Chain A
């Protein structure tokens, strides 16, 4: 598996899109620091951008890479290599190179600006960690969608729909259900509903670490009570890990049964 990972990784690192992605984060980091002149504020703005962007890029990259490397995958399948190694290697290759672009792209400007001297280092680290999780989750989901759909257009469509659902529609439904059922106690419901969506979960995690939950009013207090504690943090991380593991298992299940 490591060999496949190595080659997928190199292949992507040398592709134009990895540079574009890296340069985008680099520019974003510098511009935000320049405009905000404050590490903490830059982290908040960054969060708003990357919490939506990372899943989108992960989804699109994942689907594109899978379909583009189809013939190469066939070449690998005829070699004495285990099937699971091929797909896991490619998955980690894509997710790993995207994560590297993110970490380096944002890391360089923040470090240059003096991240290590500011107290925002934990917030920033959390931002990168959740970013990495989101990358792995959405690349994994998009691989599962791509491997289940022979038709590229269909696969691409489903993947983008999934992103749209989790990034936008889910919040809408969530809000609507809160309004419709406003007469009922919704504390537990909103906690669970938030935890089930990796994008929402990441957003809440970062917001609470940034200590601006007061802005969220009463709901914020409930969230703070749960997610703000150590147990809440561990549970959230566990859910993110689960979100990463499930698509990976799905990918392995699909890969074992597929004909090429």
Chain B
């Protein structure tokens, strides 16, 4: 398994966000982490990345406990939810800088062509539109070759063409044996991409399984309704 989470608890002030999450992520699958707003999706992802420090519980990535470590992040490509970059810097420089900071080989040129970013390479990031920034964000994430990819709302702001490219990209990475974790509110996107669904509700894992299992359990015929109906059925 690539990620193992045991009894993860996290509190922000009085707000208990994660209440004992146990989760195992197996290699080579696409996982969709779903749940209503405020259910703890981003907190869970940020705990894996070490950006949020859990109150209780253990997380292991690739067999190593992550507590106090930072080198394991070399094995993770992460796409943050909101792409905000330093305004004074050009796209080319940002790509160069992340490459420099990570010190790993990167294949950014192909991705730049795929998303048509060539005209923007010499533009400052503050002048880019939201969608273009998200494309830059995607390039920054996918240009490295790490076994684990975490995408937080990757579809935000993308036009249909870029969305198709993104889907192709995710599928390609999966075929190469990578493990991918996605959060999204676009059910159509999730249905198309995900092998496994992890449904979080009020800080606990409410459902974990394939889409077929979900449809069966909720007695629904389409995915979107199954997700909406999920809370009316008993625990998985």
Binary per-residue interface labels of chain A (68-83) against chain B in the complex, 1 for a CB within 8 Å, 0 otherwise: 0111101111111111
- CB neighbours of B84 from chain A (8 A): 70-72
Bin the interface of chain B by size.
Answer: 20 to 34
Tell me whether A117 is interfacial, beta carbon within 8 Å.
no
Interface residues of B in 68-86 (CB under 8 A from A): 70-74, 76, 78, 80, 82-86
The contact of B51 among A4, A15, A259, by CB within 8 Å, is: A259
In the complex the two chains form, what is the Cα distance from A143 to B43 in whole Å?
24
Bin the interface of chain A by size.
Answer: 20 to 34
Tell me whether A225 is interfacial, beta carbon within 8 Å.
no
- Asked if B80 and A74 sit within 8 Å, CB to CB, the answer is yes
The contact of B100 among A3, A74, A80, A82, by CB within 8 Å, is: A3
In the complex the two chains form, what is the Cα distance from A3 to B99 in whole Å?
11
In the complex the two chains form, what is the Cα distance from A14 to B71 in whole Å?
31
- Asked if B88 and A14 sit within 8 Å, CB to CB, the answer is yes
Tell me whether A116 is interfacial, beta carbon within 8 Å.
no
Interface SS, A side:
helix
- Asked if A260 and B85 sit within 8 Å, CB to CB, the answer is no
Interface residues of A in 38-81 (CB under 8 A from B): 69-72, 74-81
The contact of B102 among A14, A77, A79, by CB within 8 Å, is: A79
In the complex the two chains form, what is the Cα distance from A258 to B83 in whole Å?
21
- Asked if B70 and A69 sit within 8 Å, CB to CB, the answer is no
**A interface residues, Cβ below 8 angstroms from B:** 3-4, 7, 11, 14-15, 69-72, 74-83, 257-260
- Provide 26 A-B residue pairs closer than 8 Å at the C-beta atoms, listed in order of the A residue: A3-B100, A4-B101, A11-B86, A11-B88, A11-B89, A70-B84, A71-B80, A71-B82, A71-B83, A72-B85, A72-B86, A75-B80, A77-B50, A78-B49, A78-B51, A79-B73, A79-B102, A80-B74, A81-B73, A258-B53, A259-B12, A259-B51, A259-B53, A260-B46, A260-B51, A260-B52
Tell me whether B97 is interfacial, beta carbon within 8 Å.
yes
A78: nearest residue on chain B (CB-CB)?
B78
In the complex the two chains form, what is the Cα distance from A259 to B85 in whole Å?
19
Tell me whether B107 is interfacial, beta carbon within 8 Å.
no
- List the count of A-B residue pairs having beta carbons below 8 Å apart: 59
Tell me whether B98 is interfacial, beta carbon within 8 Å.
yes
The contact of A82 among B46, B70, B80, B88, by CB within 8 Å, is: B70
The verdict on A259 contacting B88 (CB below 8 Å), with A75-B80, A78-B73, A78-B76 known, is: no
The 3 closest A-B CB pairs, nearest first, are: A71-B84, A80-B74, A80-B73
The verdict on A81 contacting B49 (CB below 8 Å), with A72-B86, A75-B80, A259-B12 known, is: no
In the complex the two chains form, what is the Cα distance from A260 to B58 in whole Å?
18
Most chain B beta-carbon contacts within 10 A, residue among A77, A81, A82, A83: A77
- Asked if A80 and B78 sit within 8 Å, CB to CB, the answer is no
- CB neighbours of A71 from chain B (8 A): 80, 82-85
In the complex the two chains form, what is the Cα distance from A259 to B18 in whole Å?
14
Chain B nearest CB, measured from A158 CB (Å) = 19
In the complex the two chains form, what is the Cα distance from A77 to B70 in whole Å?
9
In the complex the two chains form, what is the Cα distance from A242 to B218 in whole Å?
64
In the complex the two chains form, what is the Cα distance from A259 to B49 in whole Å?
11
- CB neighbours of B88 from chain A (8 A): 11, 14-15
- Asked if B53 and A80 sit within 8 Å, CB to CB, the answer is no
- Asked if B53 and A75 sit within 8 Å, CB to CB, the answer is no
- CB neighbours of A15 from chain B (8 A): 88
- CB neighbours of A14 from chain B (8 A): 88
- CB neighbours of B89 from chain A (8 A): 11
B73: nearest residue on chain A (CB-CB)?
A80
In the complex the two chains form, what is the Cα distance from A80 to B51 in whole Å?
12
The contact of B98 among A74, A77, A79, A259, by CB within 8 Å, is: A79
- CB neighbours of A69 from chain B (8 A): 86
- Asked if A80 and B86 sit within 8 Å, CB to CB, the answer is no
B152: nearest residue on chain A (CB-CB)?
A78
In the complex the two chains form, what is the Cα distance from A76 to B72 in whole Å?
14
Chain A nearest CB, measured from B50 CB (Å) = 8
The verdict on A78 contacting B101 (CB below 8 Å), with A259-B12, A259-B52 known, is: no
In the complex the two chains form, what is the Cα distance from A7 to B70 in whole Å?
20
